[in-house]
Structure 1
Amino acid sequence: MKRMREMIAASDLESEVEMVDWLSEADMQQALRDADVLVHLSAIDSFPLIVLEALACGTLPIIRNMAGAKHMVTKLGGHVVANARAVADACEWISSLDKESLREQQAQARIRTRATYGWPTVVSALSATFEQTLK
């Protein structure tokens, strides 16, 4: 966190970037709806559900190049950073975004995520599995 805060300051993004600590579930959902991007640079969480939650809220995730997270971001939206330069790459990508492009990417990511992982899709897949199993 310290290094990320330093990079944010060095990039003069302090008025644009808010870093938060632990949030309740309701506060987390609201924060994701309010956020532009989610920076998730974990080196150990290869299939982070927070990435899907962010995408479903229309928040673009920035993640390290890890298999599960990369699959989600490549398919649904967001940005993958190089592991060796994760913090610097994240700051550079955020700095490069223009508001119009960001809003369009957010809207498309939200639509794709909800179509892929929304309740109707999940229930339909589960129902089909049950039907196949019971035959």
Structure 2
Amino acid sequence: NSFASTNVSGTGPFIVTSREQGVKVEFERCKDYWDKESKGNVDKLTLVPIKEDATRVAALLSGGVDMIHPVAPNDHKRVEDADGIDLVTLPGTRIITFQLNQNSNEALKDVRVRQAIVHAINNEGIVKKIMKGFATAAGQQSPAG
């Protein structure tokens, strides 16, 4: 447990009123928030972690929750087509990598083998088919070093 997981910390527009680890965190608008011009449109909110994609989407579509994050690429069309729900997508910071440990396999010690594997991976195809167009292909497989 970090300090922030068990102590009030921060200067944001909401304060934690209740926290059950792995179950939910409840917030209320902080009446003493410094930015008086930012009225907001929510007085209370509850964050409930929903691990499974299908369960998270079902909760949204049934009206059990007001918003979810993330929406898996496979669920974008289903959410987008639902009445009364807007799908909003934003660039993220998630990076999906495929690492090669050259000490785990003799063949991987040969730079030509590693280069062949890198060239065989269709990054654009991964973006198009797996991520349904909601990603950007990397310029390289992993950072130097």
Q: Which has the higher contact order (CA 8 A, sep 6+)?
A: 1
* TM-score, scaled relative to structure 2: 0.27
Question: Which is richer in helix?
Answer: 1
Q: TM-score, normalised by structure 1?
A: 0.29
